[in-house]
Amino acid sequence: MNYFSRIAGLALAAATAAFAQAPSTGVLTVTEPAKLIVKRTENPAFELKVSLRPGYHANSNIPTEEYLIPFKLTWEPGPLEVAEIVYPKAKMEKYEFTDKPISVFGGDFSVVTKFKRAANPALGPGYITGKLRYQACNDKMCLPPKSVEIKLPVLMQ
Amino acid sequence: MTSSWKRSAATLAVFVVTMAGCASQAQKGLEKPPSTKPSASRNAAPDFTLKDVDGKPVKLADYKGKVVLLNFWATWCGPCKIEIPWFIEFQKTYKDKGFTVIGVALDDEGWEAVKPYIADKQVNYPVVTGDSVVEQKYGGIDALPTTFLIDKEGRIANTHVGLVSRKEYESDINELLQ
């Protein structure tokens, strides 16, 4: 393989990776979910991979200050119901605008949703839709609260 | 040491010194308070009318002849909360010299969130709740705090996005009040 072929290959791989990183709103990106195949007796779990731009943080799901908007993942009713949502362990960080450390998420992390089958779910392929609401800041400024829609393809067996 | 090693070491030393110089310049650049725009290059601040906590209209154009510090903020914004006590003091200090602060709160919950906060902090300047129309007029407010310094002729003399020092604001205000 010559030099230019390698470069072209790397560029293609980078472009593919970039397109796989969707959807995104501003400083937060979630990885496109792969299809969740749910066997007849299974209660599946889904891991949502989230990435925040370096230098930014989002308030955790349990902010330490009342005025801060929490990080929250919710799902609409569908063939799967939420049993539990497991957020990552928050970091306590101090910023120029805080008197004391606050509870935040940052960098790359995962949010795991433990599902259970709904009673008499429709079998076959479908989607369940989730919404990730967050509010991000860096050391100097805050971005308005945003929501990312998560469309999780499922195959109910 | 061979001559090629010496050359490499010399090149590395030059690189390190150059980078240190750049970093030092950048640091100086960050510390230097931005001055207001030259008068000739200032654009008119878009006018708006929004309601205050008592439902009274606040019209920006009515403040022509005064220096206005127009601050977009929200109760969920930590950096905004650092600045608000400064603005309360600016209002006390400069109000009689032809100056006012106007706060535009961008909380989705509107007065439900804003009213208790401004009451608690005893905010002494007009506060209104904003809308997307006003945000768009000001180029879209992508981050908070965003603050515009408006001169006596109603033109934008400086814009600060994010938390800046109290000194920078005071420098702007004093310059515009002259």
What CATH number is attached to the domain comprising B147? 3.40.30.10
Q: Whose CA is closest to B162, among A103, A28, A64, A97?
A: A97
Q: In what order do the strands lie in the sheet with A36-38?
A: A36-38, A146-156, A124-134, A72-75
In a domain, A11, yes or no: no
Q: Testing the interface with B: which of A97, A133, A135 to mutate, by most B Cβ within 10 A? A: A97
Kind and range of the H or E element at A133? strand A124-134
Burial of B159 (0-12, 13-18, 19+ CB in 10 A): middle
Mean residue pLDDT across chain B: 87
Residue A98's closest chain B neighbor by CA?
A: B78
Query: Does B129 share its domain with B55?
Result: yes
Cβ contacts from A onto B, under 8 A = 52
H-helix or E-strand spanning residue A8: helix A3-20
Give the closest residue to B54 by CA, choosing from B99, B108, B111. Answer: B111
Contacting residues of B for A140, CB less than 8 Å apart: 79, 162-163
User: Do both B147 and B170 map to the same domain?
Assistant: yes
Q: Are residues B24 and B95 in the same domain?
A: no
Domain assignment of residue A98, yes or no: yes
Residues B125 and B146 occupy one common structural domain = yes
Flag whether pLDDT at B10 surpasses 80.
no
In this prediction, residue A28 carries a pLDDT of: 96
* CATH code for position A78: 2.60.40.1250
3-state secondary structure chain B: CCHHHHHHHHHHHHHHHHHHHHHHHHHHHHHCCCCCCCHHHCEECCCCEEEECCCCEEEHHHHCCCEEEEEEECCCCHHHHHHHHHHHHHHHHHHHHCEEEEEEECCCCCHHHHHHHHHHHCCCCCEEECCHHHHHHCCCCCCECEEEEECCCCEEEEEEECCCCHHHHHHHHHHHHC
Interchain pair B143, A142: CB under 8 A:
yes
Note whether ipTM > 0.85 here.
no
B77 and A95 within 8 Å at the Cβ level: the answer is no
Q: B163: which chain A residues are within 8 Å (Cβ-Cβ)?
A: 96-97, 139-141
Residues on A contacting B at a C-beta cutoff of 8 Å: 65, 67-69, 95-98, 102, 135, 137-145
Residue A13 lies in a domain: no
pLDDT for res B21: 43
pLDDT mean by block of 10 residues, chain A; 157 residues: 46 39 72 93 94 97 95 96 97 93 98 94 94 96 96 95
Average pLDDT over residues B46-57: 97
If one counts the domains in chain B, the total is: 2
Do B103 and B86 reside in the same domain of the chain?
yes
Query: Which chain B residue's Cα is nearest to A70?
Result: B76
pLDDT in tens, B133-142: 999 999 999 9
A30 within domain boundaries = yes
Query: What is the tally of structural domains in chain A?
Result: 1
Residue A1 domain-assigned?
A: no
pLDDT band at B4 (very low <50, low <70, confident <90, very high): low
Residue A115 lies in a domain: yes
pLDDT higher than 50, residue B34: no
Which residue in chain B is spatially nearest to A94 when comparing CA positions?
B78
Do B159 and B117 reside in the same domain of the chain? Answer: yes
What pLDDT does residue A120 have?
87
Residue of A nearest to B82 (CA): A97
In this predicted structure, what is the pLDDT of residue A52? 97
CA distance B1 to chain A (A): 35
- On the question of pLDDT at B70 being above 70, the answer is yes
CB contact under 8 A, A69 and B106: no
Partner-chain contact B81 A95, CB within 8 Å: no
Query: Which of A98, A135, A141 comes nearest B161 by C-beta?
Result: A141
For A8, list phi and psi in degrees, rounded to 5: -60, -40
Q: Are residues B44 and B79 in the same domain?
A: yes
CB contacts of B78 in chain A (<8 Å) are 65, 68, 95, 97-98, 102, 137, 142
- pLDDT, one tens digit per residue, over B78-111 is 999 999 999 999 999 999 999 999 999 999 999 9
The answer to whether the beta carbons of residues A20 and A34 sit under 8 Å apart is: no
Chain B residues with a Cβ under 8 Å from any Cβ in chain A: 74-82, 106, 108, 142-145, 161-163
Is A14 within the bounds of a domain?
no
For the entire predicted model, the pTM comes to 0.80
Under 8 Å between Cβ of B37 and B157: yes
The amino acid at residue A149 is E
Residues of the domain holding A40: 21-156
Q: What is the pLDDT of residue A26?
A: 81
Q: Residue B13 above 70 pLDDT?
A: no
Residue B9 has pLDDT above 80, yes or no: no
Would the CB atoms of B79 and A69 count as touching at under 8 Å? no
For residue B27, the model assigns a pLDDT of 43
Backbone phi, psi, residue B61, to 5°: -60, -25
Contact indicator for A87, A114 with CB cutoff of 8 Å: no
- Annotated catalytic sites of B, by residue? 80
- Nearest Cα residue in chain B from A143: B143
Is position A4 within any domain? no
* Contact: B143, A96; criterion CB under 8 Å: no
- Parent domain of B16: 1-32
pLDDT value of residue B169: 96
**Neighbouring-strand partners of residue A116:** A81
**Residue A41: predicted pLDDT:** 85
